[in-house]
Amino acid sequence: MGNSTLSIGFFFAFMALTLAITYWAARRTRTTEHFFAAGGQVTPWQNGWALAGDFLSAAALLGIAGIVTSNGFDGMIYSIGWLVGWPIILFLIVEPLRNVGRFTFADVVAYRLRQRPVRLAGAVGTLAVILFYLIAQMVATGSLIKLLFGLPYTWSVVVVGSVMLVYVLFGGMLATTWVQVVKAALLMGGGILLAFLVLTHFDMNPLKLFAAASEKYGTKVLQPGSKVVSGQWDAISLGLGLMFGTAAMPHVLMRAYTVKDAKAARLSILYATGLIGVFHLMVFIIGFGAMVLVGADAVAKAGGGGNMAAPLLALTVGGNAFFGFICAVAFATMLAVVAGLTLSGVATLCHDVWTNVIRNGTASEAEQLKVARVATVMISIFAIFLGIAFEGQNVAFMAGLAFSIACAANFPSLVLAITWRRFTTPAAVASILVGTLSSLVLIYLSPTIQVDILGKPLAAIEHQWWFVSLRNPAIISMPLSFAVAILLSLVTQEKNADLAFDEMQRRILLGPVQPNASKQGEVKSAA
Amino acid sequence: MNVVIPGKPDPAPSVSALAKKLARKRLIVALVLSAAMIVIYFGFMGLFAFDKPLLGTILVPGLSLCIVLGPLVIISSFALCLVYVVWANRVFDAGIRNLR
């Protein structure tokens, strides 16, 4: 398969650069503020790129391009769904998050409620999201690296897990941020160049590309089909999960804390939305390019469930060097995404569970850092272990499950905590747990697990009373979570939560109280 | 609630009243823009789910309605973000400075 020495060369260049960044960042990471939030010193522009880097997984380049190559337009349903959550983050979530919280989204939910139960429930929701997303990424990573570089699966998983461990353990958020920025720049550069090279074959006119595709494969490739998303309500449910799940992904939300203030957080979401939008438009061109120039059959034959569309296209339009470059970019992409996920899992374990639940908010800086590092090692080992354990399994549903849980468990409690005075502790806890559990149960009873994983024939289970025909649970689990939260809030009373509401609103507006009312913009020197 | 005493001039409304007003204004802008995004996106997904033939209308060779609308959803997401950020930077941040 092409020239793997070149891709390995590119990949080592990326590793050398990012490890140098980690070394530089390690010397600047001395407090939890540095470890989890890069000391709040990241600029909006850098953070916008880092958000794009955190969010654009290998699925965005390889996966969607592959779906477009084999199914045409339908791949774009995912592109759009992964983008429309960003405006929701901007309008409803990012400024309150930045002004009220410190490291995690549970900071905001627990702000006026009882700390321990809310943070524990928040940790369950967050860790479930991270766990499923991490497994999906690790398994995809292992099999893709096997395909791209010929490295054995187990080794691929171990390499990715260890390098991610090094980034997070030593460099914390500062290193992770820069790894994301470098990766996002490579991904955007590679994607734009690939799309550009495709268009040079079609007089720079995308319409000619689409016309060529429909001439070759029929107009159905330009029309919505029902292979990628089957079922009418399933499509709506998928849309809900993608939109509101994106708006509550812990590793995305955590980036609100890396910048100076709410205004900077707002700007970074705008930049990220632009970058991710442009990237998805490129991927659409790349997918159609692979369909016409490489051929859907050739892509399918290359294996990996269509994931080879973009690399093979690079080989066709740019030769061996470009193939190597795109493979290395894909590797870098996976590495960066798992690093971001791991860091947000560590923040939850250390800041929410250890510091605020076990130690009741009294842990010293040194102790918190130690716990954070132990948690980093634990999560990394766990990720490597699970990555190996799930080899060859169909885990595609796990990424969707992660978004569904984020949407049903995290989003309702976050929005209600910010906007509703009556919201209470039992409501928050129940909403998060019901959102998590109902997503898990619904997906277990759906064809995703029953037919695709367990291999039962659809006809045999279709008429069982417990059967759920929806593959995407969000349309049930998210309203359920909201309903539980609203009902329990109405039947319970919490005086402190009510009393603290005005103070929280003031803080959402003005940010944390600055000591001596110091002028805004003055950042305490942290070097 | 701010108690207004009739007859007494109130040259400087209290900070908390101004803050409440500003917070309310922001919430309305945020809700209107969120609603716009939700209508655009679920309008599109509704067509995708319930009226595939319409979305599949071929406009000119190489271009179908969904290939026009899909990128439009992406572009409008960014446009709505831009509207909010421009509003927030100009109006909202100025209001915050007045409060401080």
Taking only residues 17 to 56 of chain B, the set having a beta carbon closer than 8 angstroms to any beta carbon of chain A reads 19-20, 22-23, 26-27, 29-31, 33-34, 37-38, 40-42, 44-46, 48-50, 52, 55-56
CB-closest option in A214, A233, A266 to B62: A214
Quote the tokens at residue A235.
């499509």
User: What three-state secondary structure class fits B59?
Assistant: strand
Distance CA A371, CA A378 (A): 10
Residue B81 CA to its chain's centroid (Å): 8
- Of A299, A298, A324, A310, the C-alpha closest to A65 is A310
ipTM (interface pTM): 0.90
Which chain A residues contact residue B20 at CB under 8 A? 505
Which distant-in-sequence residues (6+ apart) come within 8 Å of B17 by Cβ? Answer: B2
Residues of B in contact with A509 (CB under 8 A): 19, 22-23, 26, 96, 99
pLDDT at A520: 40
Q: Where are any strands of DSSP class E within B1-100?
A: 58-60, 63-64
Q: How far is CA A350 from CA A119, A135, A344, A359, A380, in A?
A: 11, 21, 10, 10, 15
Q: Please tell me the distance from the alpha carbon of residue A450 to that of residue A430, in angstroms, as a whole number.
A: 27
Nearest to A432 by CA among A121, A64, A70: A121
C-alpha R_g of chain B: 22
In chain B, which residues have their Cβ closer than 8 Å to the Cβ of A277? 74-75, 77-78
| Residue recorded with tokens 């806890």 | A429
pLDDT of residue A491: 95
User: Which of the two residues, A436 and B5, has the higher pLDDT score?
Assistant: A436
Residue A33, min C-alpha distance to chain B (Å): 26
Chain A nearest-CA distance from B51, in A, is 9
Tell me how close the Cα of A48 comes to any Cα of chain B, in angstroms: 13
- Domain definitions of chain B by residue range: 23-99
Helix (H, G, I), strand (E, B) or coil at A104: coil
Tokens representing A188 are 């955007």
**A507 and B CB contact within 8 Å:** no
Give the pLDDT of residue A3: 53
Stretch 96-135 of chain A: residues touching chain B, C-beta under 8 Å: none
What pLDDT does A179 receive? 92
* CA atoms of A8 and A10, how far apart (whole Å): 5
* Residue B11 pLDDT level (bands cut at 50, 70, 90): low
Q: Hey, which residues does B63 pair with through a beta bridge? A: B60
Distance CA B16, CA A409 (A): 33
Reading chain A (527 residues) residue by residue, the pLDDT tens digits are 445 677 788 888 888 999 999 999 998 888 888 899 998 889 999 999 999 999 998 888 888 999 999 889 998 999 999 999 999 999 999 999 999 999 999 999 999 999 999 999 999 999 999 999 999 888 888 888 887 778 889 998 999 999 999 999 999 999 999 999 999 999 999 999 999 999 999 999 999 999 999 999 988 999 998 777 878 898 999 999 999 999 999 999 999 999 999 999 999 999 999 999 999 999 999 999 999 999 999 988 887 778 889 999 999 999 888 988 898 888 888 889 999 999 999 999 999 999 999 988 888 888 999 999 999 999 999 999 999 998 877 777 888 889 999 999 999 999 999 999 999 999 999 999 999 999 999 999 988 888 888 888 888 888 888 888 888 899 999 999 999 999 999 999 998 888 899 889 888 988 877 544 434 433 333 33
Band (pLDDT 50/70/90 cuts) for residue B20 is: confident
**Are A283 and A306 within 8 A, CB to CB?**
no
As a dihedral over the C-alpha atoms of residue B78, residue B82, residue B84, residue B87, rounded to 10 degrees, the angle is: -170
Cβ of A210 within 8 Å of Cβ of B49? The answer is no
Residue of B nearest to A247 (CA): B34
Give B66's contacts in chain A (Cβ within 8 Å).
Answer: 73, 76, 222-224
